[in-house]
Structure 1
Amino acid sequence: MICRYLLVDGARYPNALARLYNRHEALEVEPLYFDTPWHAAADLGPLLVSADADSALLRDIESDAELHASATVICSQAPGAAVVSHLRGFNRVADVTGGETLLRYADPLVAWFWLSSYSAEALGAVMGPISEWHIAEPSAVSVQQESPRWRVFSHAAKPADPQLRISILGRAQLSALEQAGQLQLKGRLYRWLQQHRPAVLSSMPEGALDDWLNARLADASACGLTTERSFAVWCDVSLCEGNDFAAAPQGSYQRWLAEQQVPPAQTPDQQIQHYYRSVV
């Protein structure tokens, strides 16, 4: 018998445990950080939710924008304990650089890029007892999908074999996780700019925002910026003064640098943020 589960990212679904337990249906919730070093943050970690086949929660994910941005659906014929054990093995993973990371596999965006990075054969080893993993496809940062397109990662599920399981992230997986992080960063920047510069954003041609953000982040990185705050400032100044504000010889930024009475800040991040405070 195939069982369907909802895998919820507690960090993306605020007050997840309370909201799930307060639903008027029979749900079993297994926080996957329980009995691990991250037990204290169990409500912010991955939560595996099992429900009846006619569960309203499993229906809601098809139409609830918050759910399809914070949860995925997995299917398995294996006992629930086997699925739980398998997923917990991904809580902390090593990578080819020798580092370790908490893999946010319950975040749909992270899971989509992570699973997409494997070959068909390797994907089977990663999924183990999970036969299908349904994930809403990521969209451009300015697009709100009412009806998401779902991608189903699937394979002929077999009992987990520790000799085949791929638990070390390779170069392809690290690259995929970097892409996920970049898209998440763009989403946060877009929401911040929406609050501060809605009129300017709305004047952009439809479909141009994603490319514009990519170009601004590339410019900011090339100038040595490293922090999210600096990226936000760079984008905001670009909207107000033009995309080439930092390079324009007669622009206000270069004039500001030349007019400083004390040596300029030691880092590009400090320079752009000091300038921003002087003009905002």
Structure 2
Amino acid sequence: MSLPEHANFLLIDGVLNKRKLNDLHQYEASMEVCLLYGGTRWEPLQDLGPILMKPSTPSSLITDWFSDPAAQKYSTVFSSAKFLNQVTDHLRPFICPPNALDGSGLLRFSDPLVAHYWLSSLSAEQRDQLLGPIDHWWVPLPTHSWEPPAEIAWQIFSRVNPAPSSSPVHASLDHAQLAALDKAHRWKFEEDAYQWLAERDEQLFAGMDSQSISDWLKHTIDSGLEWGLVGEKALIIWAETFADLGHDFTTRPNGPYLTWLNHNPDNACLVPVLRIKAFDHFRRSHKDTAHD
């Protein structure tokens, strides 16, 4: 993978970073480091927040960091002619921006997955304001673990108009950006569900190509949501049941689910989340009788 030309800042997600922060001291003489949570109410968690780094002299910092392919999962790079403290001051209002639903929450924009969906949802005008002193922001496109290995592709977000000399940062998330963050959450949940299900049954996805796996996960999760399930735990139980009993388990005559309901009619009145959990408990306690 060749690094983007002129990239001189490295942004690391502290949650996803598997290296210890002390590892950065090998570059101490040639870099500046800022923990973006420092000086904020999240300072006690600053090691888990965004870590902004900039070589202060010619350095191999960025190329060395990206020599580890795993770093592409928790790092992005960008270019700016400004000092590190100026870029830091610009980014900090985005740590916990208000949103269109009159709420607020931590925005992990240092996570490449979040950055990809968040930045992709912006209009040109919003992107110019958001980037501010940043000229170009390179984000590796997310790839699922079941997809064929390939060289990481980059998505480039560039400021079109010159950055104003000074302007207030109006950090907020509109409905389009909230929807984009929901997509990022769904992407991550599909990845987590795949990892869990593949570990649970290594034969489940055997023989499927990457598109078939994607389709299976999408159909499984969508059907659970349509059935009325909420919450990741309930959806994982739903996916496990699909894997064991088939996609038609709720409608198959004389199948384990309808047989269970016939013998336990009160369970039909349970809300979907409680019903799937009750059926899962039944299956686990009656393994010999809960299969076709």
TM-score (norm 2): 0.86
1:166–1:279 Cα change, 3 Å = same
Question: Alpha carbon RMSD of aligned pairs, Å?
Answer: 2.3
Q: What is the letter of the counterpart of residue 251 of structure 2?
A: A
Alignment coverage as a number of residue pairs: 278
1:25–1:220 Cα change, 3 Å = farther
1:144–1:71 Cα change, 3 Å = farther
Please say if 1:42 is aligned against 2:46: yes
Q: Name the % identity.
A: 30
Alignment correspondent of 1:85: 89
Larger radius of gyration, structure 1 or 2?
A: 2
Please say if 1:122 is aligned against 2:126: yes
Q: 1:211 aligns with which of 199, 208, 215?
A: 215
Please say if 1:273 is aligned against 2:277: yes
Alignment correspondent of 2:290: none
Q: Greater CA deviation, 140-149 or 260-269?
A: 260-269
Q: Which runs of 5+ in 1 are unaligned?
A: none
Between the aligned partners of 1:116 and 1:172, the Cα distance in structure 2 is: 10
Alignment correspondent of 2:203: 199
User: Which structure carries more strand by proportion?
Assistant: 1
CA contact (8 A) 2:36 2:88 kept: yes
Between the aligned partners of 1:27 and 1:279, the Cα distance in structure 2 is: 57
Between the aligned partners of 1:125 and 1:24, the Cα distance in structure 2 is: 32
TM-score (norm 1): 0.90
Compute the displacement of 1:175 (Å). 0.9
Q: Which runs of 5+ in 2 are unaligned?
A: 1-5, 285-292
1:21–1:264 Cα change, 3 Å = farther
Alignment correspondent of 1:150: 154
Alignment correspondent of 1:113: 117
Compute the displacement of 1:194 (Å). 1.7
Alignment correspondent of 2:262: 258
Give the match's secondary structure for 2:94: coil
Compute the displacement of 1:229 (Å). 1.4
Alignment correspondent of 1:138: 142
1:91–1:255 Cα change, 3 Å = same
CA contact (8 A) 2:94 2:172 kept: no
CA contact (8 A) 1:26 1:51 kept: yes
Q: What is the letter of the counterpart of residue 18 of structure 1?
A: N
Compute the displacement of 1:241 (Å). 1.1
